[in-house]
Amino acid sequence: MQVLKPFIEFTREYYMTKDFIPLHEPRFRGNEKTYLLDTIDSTFVSSVGAYVDRFEEQMQNITKAQKAVAVVNGTAALQVALRLAGVQKGDEVITQALTFVATANAIAYNNATPIFLDVDLDTMGLSPKAVGQFLEEYGELRDDGCYNKTTGNRIAACLPMHTFGFPVHLDELLTICNKRNIPVVEDAAESLGSYYKGQHTGTLGLMGAFSFNGNKIVTSGGGGAIVSNNENLGDKAKYLTTTAKKPHPYEFYHDELGYNYRMPNLNAALACAQLEMLEQYLEEKRDLAEKYKQLFSPEKVKFRDELENTKANYWLMAVELENKKERNLFLEHTNKAGVMTRPIWQLMYRLPMYKDCQRDTQKNAEFLEERIVNIPSSVSK
Per the CB < 8 A criterion, the answer to whether 244 and 18 are in contact is no
Note whether 10 and 107 are same-domain residues.
no
pLDDT exceeds cutoff 90 at 185: yes
pLDDT computed for residue 224 by the predictor:
98
Note whether 251 and 235 are same-domain residues.
yes
Distance CA(323)–CA(144), nearest Å, equals: 45
Instruction: Give 312-365 pLDDT, tens digit per residue.
Output: 999 999 999 999 999 999 999 999 999 999 999 999 999 999 999 999 999 999
pLDDT exceeds cutoff 80 at 207: yes
Mean pLDDT of the chain: 97
| Residue 353 falls inside a structural domain | no
Note whether 67 and 154 are same-domain residues.
yes
Residues constituting the chain: 381
Final residue before a domain boundary, out of 277, 309, 328: 277
Distance CA(251)–CA(42), nearest Å, equals: 25
Note whether 294 and 146 are same-domain residues.
no
Note whether 78 and 217 are same-domain residues.
yes
Residue 125: give the domain boundaries: 32-277
Distance CA(151)–CA(174), nearest Å, equals: 24
CA dihedral (253, 255, 259, 265) in degrees, to 10, reads -40
pLDDT computed for residue 381 by the predictor:
84
Distance CA(82)–CA(110), nearest Å, equals: 8
Note whether 71 and 122 are same-domain residues.
yes
Final residue before a domain boundary, out of 255, 277, 299: 277
pLDDT computed for residue 216 by the predictor:
97
Instruction: Indicate the range of 80-94, 194-208, 242-256, 341-355 predicted with least confidence.
Output: 242-256
- CA 196 to chain centroid, in Å, comes to 15
Note whether 9 and 59 are same-domain residues.
no
Note whether 179 and 300 are same-domain residues.
no
| Residue 75 falls inside a structural domain | yes
| Residue 116 falls inside a structural domain | yes
| Residue 381 falls inside a structural domain | no
| Residue 169 falls inside a structural domain | yes
Per the CB < 8 A criterion, the answer to whether 358 and 150 are in contact is yes
Instruction: Give 255-285 pLDDT, tens digit per residue.
Output: 999 999 999 999 999 999 999 999 999 999 9
Confidence of residue 1 (pLDDT cuts 50, 70, 90): confident
Looking at residue 324, which CATH number applies to its domain? 3.90.1150.10
Note whether 14 and 61 are same-domain residues.
no
pLDDT computed for residue 2 by the predictor:
86
Confidence of residue 300 (pLDDT cuts 50, 70, 90): confident
Note whether 126 and 198 are same-domain residues.
yes
Distance CA(242)–CA(82), nearest Å, equals: 17
Looking at residue 210, which CATH number applies to its domain? 3.40.640.10
Instruction: Give 95-120 pLDDT, tens digit per residue.
Output: 999 999 999 999 999 999 999 999 99
Number of domains in the chain: 2
Distance CA(56)–CA(68), nearest Å, equals: 5
| Residue 236 falls inside a structural domain | yes
CB atoms within 10 A of CB 109: 18
DSSP 350: G
Note whether 284 and 271 are same-domain residues.
no
Final residue before a domain boundary, out of 258, 277, 296: 277
Sequence-distant contacts of 296-300: CB under 8 A, at least 24 apart: 296/3, 296/7, 299/1, 299/2, 299/3, 300/326
Note whether 285 and 151 are same-domain residues.
no
pLDDT exceeds cutoff 80 at 298: no
| Residue 301 falls inside a structural domain | yes
Per the CB < 8 A criterion, the answer to whether 82 and 93 are in contact is yes
| Residue 282 falls inside a structural domain | yes
